[in-house]
């Protein structure tokens, strides 16, 4: 249909019907309107939230194990031509054997150290607070000394109150404790089955998702899923591998200097290392408290172990294992950690980076699609083509 001159001159047509900025703003308004309407009928989604709350924990656990085990299964299948189901069964048997060994030998030792640490922790903390009080005994530092005394008194009372409430809460919340224990058992029992079928049908999931997509976006959806899977695999395997070696380094270092509870402190350091940038520093605090109770020289030794570990981790282990596969600027990582920790606590600090990476991949894909199909960037593309043509002409002249 041919446009009339009157229609071209119409301000309504120019400002609303034929204005990309207006169309984008209207679409954004509609998106927020839909979100607002969904918030008003959130009760409709309560059953879905309950279903996700039940099903997601074992699925997430199985997904983490999938990215750890799947590379080994692929190697056994591709290079050694071992049947995939046989490879999976073999790996499961090895994991089961390691778990049995850990339960029989390692866990009792760890449990003994944890019980001893909990029992002696108030004494360690009191010793540290007394040392700090003596350190700031100068009358000129009375303000700092008073604040330390108030903080120590508050922490001590809070700890004693928590200890006094543990037994009554345990008795009163037996039903809740049983429910939590039941959920943990269900997660541990169901995750291996989910993991088995994830490993068995590795490539079928992507094919099934791509199959139901319209033909024009099948390739893009498949590439997006592959990129997300690669990002998650790199992050999960990298972080867990680095955490393992961090735990080993702290354990060996503490053994060398004679630090108490070396195994427990090493395991705690490995777990907290899953929190980027600040995990190892947080793990240093309990070790310093224990070292301060032993001797000032032990504090220096613990700091030396920490410095050596950080040097090896940042200069050797992390660049080799993780590198910059997430392609995230350190400032972006810190901001993501702050937001995710403020919203979801410790779980947010651990899961914030991979979730942000997934969102980033999807947003970049959508932006690239918009860039290809919008005339907003035609001038940039035309200038690039002109510059490339001028460069080619210059090369021919020099030849």
How far apart CA 4 and CA 65 sit, in angstroms, is: 64
Arithmetic mean of pLDDT, 189-205: 90
Same domain, 220 and 184: no
Same domain, 310 and 234: yes
Domain assignment present for 288: yes
Same domain, 226 and 300: yes
| Total residue length of the chain | 399
Domain assignment present for 342: no
Per-residue pLDDT for 160 more than 70? no
Quote the pLDDT of residue 174. 44
Domain assignment present for 295: yes
**Terminal Cα distance for the chain, rounded:** 52
**3-class secondary structure per residue, the chain:** CCCCHHHHHCHHHHHHHCCHHHHHHHHHHHHHHHHHHHHHCHHHHHHHHHHHHHHHHHHHHHHHHHHHHHHHHHHHHHCCCCCHHHHHHHHHHHHHHHHHHHHHHHHHHHHHHHHHHHHHHHHHHHHHHHHHHHHCCCHHHHHHHHHHHHHHHHHHHHHHHHHHHHHHHHHHCHHHHHHHHHHHHHHHHHHHHHHHHHHHCHHHHHHHHHHCCCHHHHHHHHHHHHHHHHHHHHHHHHHHHHHHHHHHHHHHHHHHHCCCCHHHHHHHHHHHCCCCCCHHHHHHHHHHHHHHHHCHHHHHHHHHHHHHHHHHHHHHHHHHHCCCCCCCCHHHHHHHHHHHHHHHHHHHHHHHHHHHHHHHHHHHHHHHHHHHHCHHHHHHHHHHHHHHHHHHHHHHHHC
Total of domains in the chain? 2
Same domain, 263 and 193: no
Domain assignment present for 318: yes
Domain assignment present for 292: yes
Same domain, 106 and 166: yes
Q: Which two tokens stand for residue 383?
A: 């200038």
Same domain, 179 and 99: yes
Domain assignment present for 29: no
- Decide which of 295, 325, 355 is a domain's last residue: 325
Same domain, 300 and 229: yes
Q: 234-238, 302-306, 309-313, 372-376: lowest mean pLDDT where? A: 372-376
Domain limits for position 220 = 215-325
In this structure, the number of other CB atoms found within 10 A of the CB of residue 65 comes to 18
Domain assignment present for 243: yes
pTM of the predicted structure, to 2 decimals: 0.75
pLDDT digits (tens, 9 = 90+) for 317-347: 887 776 666 667 778 888 888 888 888 887 8
Domain assignment present for 340: no
pLDDT digits (tens, 9 = 90+) for 8-52: 556 666 666 666 777 778 888 988 998 888 888 878 778 888 888
Same domain, 219 and 176: no
pLDDT digits (tens, 9 = 90+) for 204-252: 888 888 888 888 888 889 999 999 999 899 889 989 999 999 999 999 9
Q: Which two tokens stand for residue 352?
A: 């914030």
- Decide which of 304, 325, 346 is a domain's last residue: 325
């Amino acid at each position: 249909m041919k446009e009339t001159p009157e229609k071209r001159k119409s301000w309504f047509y120019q400002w609303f019907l034929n204005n990309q900025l207006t169309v984008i703003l209207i679409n954004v308004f509609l998106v927020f309107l839909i979100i607002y309407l969904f918030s008003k009928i959130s009760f409709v989604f309560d059953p879905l939230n309950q279903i996700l709350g039940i099903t997601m924990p074992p699925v997430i656990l199985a997904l983490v194990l999938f990215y750890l085990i799947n590379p080994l299964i692929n190697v056994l299948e591709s290079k050694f031509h071992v049947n995939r189901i046989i490879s999976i069964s073999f790996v499961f048997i090895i994991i089961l054997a390691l778990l049995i060994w850990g339960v029989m030998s390692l866990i009792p030792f760890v449990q003994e150290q944890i019980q001893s640490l909990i029992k002696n922790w108030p004494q360690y903390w009191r010793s540290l607070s007394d040392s700090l009080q003596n350190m700031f005994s100068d009358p000129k530092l009375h303000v700092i000394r008073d604040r330390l005394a108030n903080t120590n008194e508050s922490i001590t009372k809070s700890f004693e109150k928590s200890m006094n409430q543990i037994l009554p809460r345990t008795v009163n919340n037996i039903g809740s404790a049983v429910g939590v224990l039941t959920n943990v058992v269900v997660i541990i029992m169901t995750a291996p089955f989910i993991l088995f079928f994830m490993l068995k049908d590795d490539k079928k999931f992507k094919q099934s998702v791509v199959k139901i997509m319209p033909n024009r976006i099948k390739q893009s959806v498949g590439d997006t899923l592959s990129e997300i899977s690669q990002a998650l695999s790199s992050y999960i395997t990298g972080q867990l591998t680095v955490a393992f070696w961090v735990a080993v380094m702290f354990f060996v270092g503490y053994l060398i200097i004679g630090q108490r509870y070396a195994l427990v402190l090493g395991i705690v350091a490995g777990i907290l290392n899953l929190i980027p940038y600040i995990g190892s520093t947080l793990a240093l605090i309990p070790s310093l408290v224990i070292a301060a109770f032993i001797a000032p020289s032990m504090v220096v030794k613990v700091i030396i172990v920490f410095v050596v570990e950080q040097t090896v981790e940042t200069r050797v282990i992390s660049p080799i294992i993780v590198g910059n596969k997430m392609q995230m600027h350190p400032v972006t990582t810190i901001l993501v950690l702050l937001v995710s920790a403020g919203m979801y606590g410790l779980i947010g600090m651990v899961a914030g980076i991979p979730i942000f990476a997934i969102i980033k991949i999807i947003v970049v894909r959508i932006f690239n699609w918009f860039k290809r199909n919008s005339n907003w960037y035609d001038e940039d593309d035309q200038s690039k083509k002109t510059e490339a043509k001028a460069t080619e002409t210059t090369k021919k002249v020099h030849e």
